Amino acid sequence: MLNKALLLFHTARYLKVGQILNRVRRKFFKPKNALSVAPKTAIKVHNLKSLIKCKQTMFGDSRFNFLNKEFNLKRRQDWNSANVEKLSIYNLHYFDDLNSIGSDQREGWHNDLIKRWIDENSYGFGNAWEAYPTSLRIVNWVKWSLSGGNLNKEGLDSLASQARHLQQNLEYHLLGNHLFENAKALIFCGLYFQGVEADQWYQTGKKILKNELPEQVLSDGGNFELSPMYHSIFLEGLLDIINIHQVYAKSIPFYIDKMATNMLSWLKYMCHPDNNISFFNDSALGVAPTLNELYIYAKHLNVVYNDKIINGLKHLNNSGYIRYSGKDVVLIADVANIGPDFIPGHGHADALSFEMSIFSKRVFVNSGVSTYSLGDDRNYQRGTKSHSTIMIDNENSSQVWGGFRVAKRAKVFNINTSMLDNTIRFSACHDGYKRLKGNIVHCREWSISDNFLEILDNITGTGEHIVSSTLPLHPEVEILDIQESFVILKVEEKKIVVNFEGVGLMQVKSAKYNQEFGLSLDNKQLIYSYNGALPFTTKINISW
């Protein structure tokens, strides 16, 4: 009970006052019934530019596949099934298939599904009317209608009712990407319809963006939640906002086009040579649009961007990542805090972790995420053991718990970069283990020269402790040979040698690489363990 109370205290103390007040308000506030006739639709000036088409999720009039899991919508109750993962139920209410690949071939299914949603989801009840799925559904219905879908009077009335309901349920208790999606939906409805009420929706959404964008988009272009996956989703949202403003010949507010350019630049540095995102914090493939898809979309909208990568060292110092790219190698290191203190729900205990591609193939990775369901899998995937960094006494560097919560969290400091005699060095420390006995601090330095990487880990403190250094391998990496302190790997028919220096013990363990939601692949982890007195220093030498 005491431990749970301390977790709650160290979690809640970072919240903004407005978040707490809005949580209290939501307990007692009951929205007014928003069912009413829709305003007239506005006259568009231009056609909606080509959208990013997501994967098909609807495969029959009641059969779906969300995040690699089958779902059948047989009964009215299935819209709120307690036997299905919450994220799949949310996806059912998003209506992403309306704007997916080949969606024009499924218009009949879509018309029936919209009618069924209206008939079977009573106003204000269940997942259907939660603010986040409502926001995404509003945008998808508007996009579909502007792309040629037939949103009849019943659909228009429902769309307006959803906007009215959303305006009363803005997610100020969560903030972050949730509030951004709320604002985006109100802007979409505010421009799609006309009249006083529609303008109120638009102005509300615009005001939220004015207040939120300077905080949520960092000056180096990164989204402040520090997840490449959510960064990509957010960036698509900005491009969507530009798109609908062009449809109605409205001026684009708050330099959003410039922010989109900066976000594209940040994302390219957080991708591997395969042009897919690195796995820091909540990140997996198959959820967000790819870098190439975002480039194409931006080009259609006349958003100017530079798709060239600068070789060498790139420090994204506002968000806290360092990238090195050279011949045959790309390395991305995490020298960031876990995320914004008041909304770390998508953060992982991954301080001073890194990912590395060699010969254009991912080799050393973080383990990604496959689920948002509360439980052991979610906690493990957020934990330090799933990342390429140091774990002490089997404790996480930040106290991730409860699926989306963080209590005490690591703070990163002493970030340095240098180049001397053709060797590039960068380093940082974090204090996440100071809460343990012994005043423990972990510092890590990466040194890169031709075909060689040295990682120096220095753990200061006192007392006897267990220190574990983990290197998760990508599933496609083959292990050729294992000796007492070194391993020979094979990638693209070429060898990579990993050698651990110190007085510890190396092991190879089976693990999971969570490439997509609902899709976990078998992989291996190289784990070097030491049990003894601090201070302790160890090196990982990687040559290729």
Mean pLDDT by 10 residues, the chain (544 residues): 83 90 84 89 97 97 96 96 94 98 97 98 96 98 97 98 97 96 98 98 98 97 98 98 98 93 98 98 98 97 90 96 96 97 96 98 98 96 98 98 96 96 95 97 96 98 98 98 95 96 95 98 98 97 98
The predicted structure's pLDDT at residue 190: 98
The predicted structure's pLDDT at residue 20: 86
Query: Rounded to whole angstroms, how far apart are CA atoms 173 and 17?
Result: 9
Contacts of 522 (CB under 8 A, 6+ apart): 475, 510, 511, 512, 513
Task: Give the closest residue to 441 by CA, choosing from 498, 390, 373.
Answer: 390
The dihedral region occupied by 352, where left means phi > 0, alpha psi between -120 and 50, and beta the remainder, is: left
The predicted structure's pLDDT at residue 4: 83
Query: Rounded to whole angstroms, how far apart are CA atoms 342 and 17?
Result: 10
Residue with token string 């990775």: 365
User: Kind and range of the H or E element at 469?
Assistant: strand 464-472
**CA-CA-CA-CA torsion sign (161, 167, 169, 175):** positive
Give the SS3 label for residue 292: helix
Query: Rounded to whole angstroms, how far apart are CA atoms 372 and 189?
Result: 29
**Cα angle vertex 133, ends 131, 135, to 5°?**
65
Residue with token string 């099934």: 81
The predicted structure's pLDDT at residue 30: 79
The predicted structure's pLDDT at residue 534: 98
Convert the pLDDT of each residue in 75-122 to its tens digit.
999 999 999 999 999 999 999 999 999 999 999 999 999 999 999 999
Structural domains of the chain ordered from first start: 312-543 (2.70.98.70)
Query: Rounded to whole angstroms, how far apart are CA atoms 433 and 412?
Result: 12
Q: Please name the amino acid found at residue 109.
A: W
Buried b (16+ CB within 10 A) or exposed e, 101-138: eebeebeebbeebbeebeebbeebeebbbbbbbbbbbb
How does DSSP assign 27-39, residue by residue? Answer: HH--PPP---PPP
Q: 515 with 368: CB under 8 angstroms?
A: yes
The predicted structure's pLDDT at residue 162: 98
Model pTM score: 0.96
Q: 473 with 516: CB under 8 angstroms?
A: no
Give the SS3 label for residue 464: strand
- Written as six digits, the tokens of 368 are 């990604």
Report H helices in 336-428.
376-382
Query: Rounded to whole angstroms, how far apart are CA atoms 3 and 361?
Result: 43
